[in-house]
Structure 1
Amino acid sequence: MEYSILKTYNLFLLTIFFLVLADSTLALAKHAGITRHYNFNIQMQNVTRLCQTKSIVTVNGQFPGPRIIARDGDRVVIKVVNNAQYNVTIHWHGVRQLRSGWADGPAYIAQCPIQTGQSYVYNFTITGQRGTLFWHAHISWLRATLYGPIIILPKKGVAYPFPQPFKEVPILFGEWWKADTEKIISQALQTGGGPNISDAYTINGLPGLFYNCSAKGTKVVRLPFNTSVELVMQDTSIIGAESHPLHLHGYNFFVVGQGFGNYNSSKDPANFNLVDPAERNTVGVPSGGWVAIRFLADNPGVWFMHCHLEVHTSWGLKMAWMVMDGKGPKQKLPPPPADLPKC
């Protein structure tokens, strides 16, 4: 009798456990991400701006390019087919590529470019992010016309971190050159002088109403997996000092300190904000000043870091972090995709 009661009790507990497990599984399934597919056809398109028509590189003939919409937790698969005469790569700016470094995009850092007539599938999962980011070409100056928004919505059933908007309208700031931007940067690199400035600033690809030295090699720094990195960036310009927006691929980092003048390694760390520092993927190095950032190298791959002023990248304000694999299976970069472009 005692054994029978115990057996029934165990069966009761097992039934409760099964129901709880089933409910948890259903809850996870309810909030699980989906796979979203996009096709990017890189093609030339005639576009008229400032009373002049020229042929530019576009995605699907659109300028700016199409928007990508996904939710936190979604897998995004973008097939890029290059039908233009230029080699192309696409970077998903601000998206944290967790063990998906093959999808990051910077040419000759994460991948070789997609050559004319070739294709490549960018495959990544959005994890723990929401907000508005953007994608753009990441080779030469093609991003002048190859760019568009990435809109990441919260998971279904998860509230916005602010009152839900009535309507969302992406606003993209850019520049427009009447001349061929590829010829502009090529000439600047040959002469060592600054490139010609743009003819207009644009909002969503449209100008406002009032408009009538050799490149250096990329330095690479190797980091063991899970290395804690503190980086202080100092603006040393004496003539023509300006702010540099430094962007790190593959990571968000914490801005722990910044100031004007020269960084003092014996005094300034005492004032670092280690309680609630701002989390960013891009930070401006103040004109004539410095900024200190920290990040944990827990995402294996080769990650580009560069000034987001395109001409400064062309002049050599760039580097790459090579984060080595860890020991665990989820701490290793998967093998490259079969269709990864070859140099």
Structure 2
Amino acid sequence: MKAVIIQYSSALLLFLSILHCHAAVRRYTFVVDEVPYTRLCSTKSIMTINGQFPGPTLHVRQGETIIVDVYNKAKYNITIHWHGVKQPRFPWSDGPEYITQCPIQPGAKFSQKVIFSTEVGTLWWHAHSDWTRATVHGAIVIYPKKGSSYPFKKPDMETPIILGEWWKKPIMEVYHDMLQSGGDPNISDAFLINGQPGDLYPCSKQDTFKLMVEKGKTYLLRLVNAAMQELMFFSVAKHKLTVVGTDGAYTKPLTRDVITISPGQTIDVLLEANQKPDHYYMASRVYASAVGVAYDNTTTTALVEYAGDYTPTSPPPLPALPYYNDTSASVNFTGSLRSLASKKYPVNVPKKITHRFVYTISVNSFPCPQNSCAGSNGGRLAASVNNISFVSPSIDILQAYYQGINGVFGARLPDFPKYIFNFTGDNLPAYLDTPKKGTEVKFLEYNSTVELVFQGTNILAGTDHPMHLHGYSFYVVGWGLGNFDPKKDPANFNLIDPPLQNTIAVPKNGWSAIRFRAKNPGVWFMHCHIERHLSWGMDTAFIVKNGGPPNTHLLPPPPDMPRC
């Protein structure tokens, strides 16, 4: 009997070990280091993950949890953010520096638990400390759960298409020069597609990214705008693009010649290889709406090459991209996105709202002694949310909130603008230029429902602002040009099939309205994804309190949280 019991126990242990192997959390290793890269006829050292630029693509399934062990072997601090991943009840691995964690210092390690839930499609990861995300970024591909399929024709192949920016100068020098001068940063020297400038730039032709296609097949392009400062137009010559998803959620199919994609945003598009075999350019260039603000006026390209025996057109045809300041082309695309809103993919737009906020988002200026700075009228450029320019603390807000440390942040972010004026008017009075400084956040009760209107202003420079909220996806229920009218505009809100996004480009001198339910406790950063605006203070955070039952509470921190 004893031998039988031992034999049975061994079999049980083997079975349990097999179960454990299948249920084990997958681990990835990210090694942050500096390596030499050559672009535009020159070589410089850049920060990378595992020596790759762009960094490795993560492949996961909907609802999966993974562990990413991040080793910092570079000389700068680093954090990694999983953009668009909600991280339910676990903001500890979300990544923004001094918001949910202290940075990973040189020589240190942090094991980040990344918890996927409802997201499906394409998201991305990037550094979230200073300007290191210029080269530290990569795609996240989230496949449907096993047994599920795409709500569109399964593509024959798929590939990430990551748009980026390149400076010949080291990016941290560009960043520190901006801070020292108080003015705008130097514009980039090139835009990139999958790390390559394309053959319209010097010394770049042989390394241009190529997408090989076969006539009659369909290709899923997973677009990511990883550019630091710019919204981008994107197109493929003589081909139409059908949008089927954005920001980790499916959309109704939307066929367009040109895509507008803002920094931080992801868009899934289907490309049908239905033209005669040849070489065709895919191309991207800036959409820059601010008057008098310099921008990189170059075009990055990659090649779509059909298989077959033929003599390609030389040079390949270029797509017709809109003019750099074509606001109509930008907002008409963004405003056309819709959720599937089907039985299998329903929408859950909050109808009964408990909190209504209006946040003005502005480019501002602080005075400098003897007007010695390079910003407007000799001042130092700044940015604000409801006239408060965010100041990063020296202890992360999540730690301070969790441990009850006083004096790190305040909760005095106004619900509405302090000053009511013609937000988008010309020749605004000078007293509006200067905001207040502060580390102010907004508390939300668990399960409260939020309607937030982002109102762009024309203070100093009216421009688009891609606003990103960590820890949540939100429904974009409305948008418009000019000033939001609280009496008239809500009547036109789309509560039937609004797109579900984590980043929304608030149009130049316009507004966007979002709704979400606060069901993810923790500290969640909200900011403009144009990097200079974030650095200048166009950011804040929501602190969502615990609910009643234990499963609505913030989870405890991991033991290896980086120290400040």
TM-score w.r.t. structure 1 length? 0.88
Does 2:554 correspond to 1:333? yes
Alignment partners' CA distance in 2, 1:293 and 1:129? 18
Does 2:410 correspond to 1:189? no
CA shift digits 1:98-136 (9 cap, x unpaired): 112111110111111001111111113211221111100
Alignment partners' CA distance in 2, 1:103 and 1:330? 18
Q: Are the aligned partners of 1:33 and 1:73 in contact in 2 as well (CA < 8 Å)? A: no
Alignment partners' CA distance in 2, 1:239 and 1:103? 36
Greater Cα shift, 207-216 or 173-182: 207-216
Q: Are the aligned partners of 2:92 and 2:101 in contact in 1 as well (CA < 8 Å)? A: yes
CA shift digits 1:206-237 (9 cap, x unpaired): 11211233764143111121121111111112
Alignment partners' CA distance in 1, 2:156 and 2:131? 36
Q: Are the aligned partners of 1:243 and 1:287 in contact in 2 as well (CA < 8 Å)? A: yes
Higher relative contact order (CA 8 A, sep 6+): 1
Amino acid at match of 1:336: P
Select 2:462's aligned residue among 241, 244, 253. 241
Does 2:78 correspond to 1:88? yes
| 1:33 Cα deviation after fit | 6.9
Q: Are the aligned partners of 1:33 and 1:71 in contact in 2 as well (CA < 8 Å)? A: no
Does 2:352 correspond to 1:131? no
Q: Secondary structure at the match of 2:158?
A: coil
CA shift digits 1:254-301 (9 cap, x unpaired): 111111111111211111112222111010101111011111111011
Does 2:453 correspond to 1:232? yes
Does 2:272 correspond to 1:282? no
Query: What is the match of residue 476 of structure 2?
Result: 255
Number of equivalenced pairs? 313
Q: Are the aligned partners of 2:121 and 2:143 in contact in 1 as well (CA < 8 Å)? A: yes
Select 1:64's aligned residue among 34, 54, 60. 54
Amino acid at match of 2:95: G
Q: Are the aligned partners of 2:162 and 2:194 in contact in 1 as well (CA < 8 Å)? A: yes
Q: Secondary structure at the match of 1:106?
A: coil
Amino acid at match of 2:505: G
Alignment partners' CA distance in 2, 1:325 and 1:189? 38
Q: Are the aligned partners of 1:227 and 1:297 in contact in 2 as well (CA < 8 Å)? A: yes
Q: Are the aligned partners of 1:260 and 1:286 in contact in 2 as well (CA < 8 Å)? A: yes
Alignment partners' CA distance in 2, 1:214 and 1:238? 11
Alignment partners' CA distance in 1, 2:26 and 2:118? 17
Q: Secondary structure at the match of 2:562?
A: coil
Alignment partners' CA distance in 2, 1:156 and 1:267? 45
Q: Secondary structure at the match of 1:109?
A: coil
Q: Secondary structure at the match of 1:170?
A: strand
Alignment partners' CA distance in 2, 1:155 and 1:198? 40
Alignment partners' CA distance in 1, 2:522 and 2:180? 32
Greater Cα shift, 107-116 or 232-241: 232-241
CA RMSD across the alignment: 1.5
Greater Cα shift, 47-56 or 235-244: 235-244
Does 2:541 correspond to 1:320? yes
Does 2:339 correspond to 1:118? no
Runs (5+) with no aligned partner, structure 2? 1-18, 203-379, 383-389, 392-438
CA shift digits 1:7-36 (9 cap, x unpaired): xxxxxxxxxxxxxxxxxxxxxx9xx97622
Q: 1:136 to 1:53 in 2, by over 3 A?
A: same
Query: What is the match of residue 211 of structure 1?
Result: 201
Query: What is the match of residue 192 of structure 2?
Result: 202
Alignment partners' CA distance in 2, 1:290 and 1:34? 45
Q: Are the aligned partners of 1:89 and 1:139 in contact in 2 as well (CA < 8 Å)? A: yes
Alignment partners' CA distance in 2, 1:33 and 1:252? 28
Select 1:158's aligned residue among 148, 155, 163. 148
Amino acid at match of 1:310: E
Alignment partners' CA distance in 2, 1:214 and 1:140? 17
TM-score w.r.t. structure 2 length? 0.54
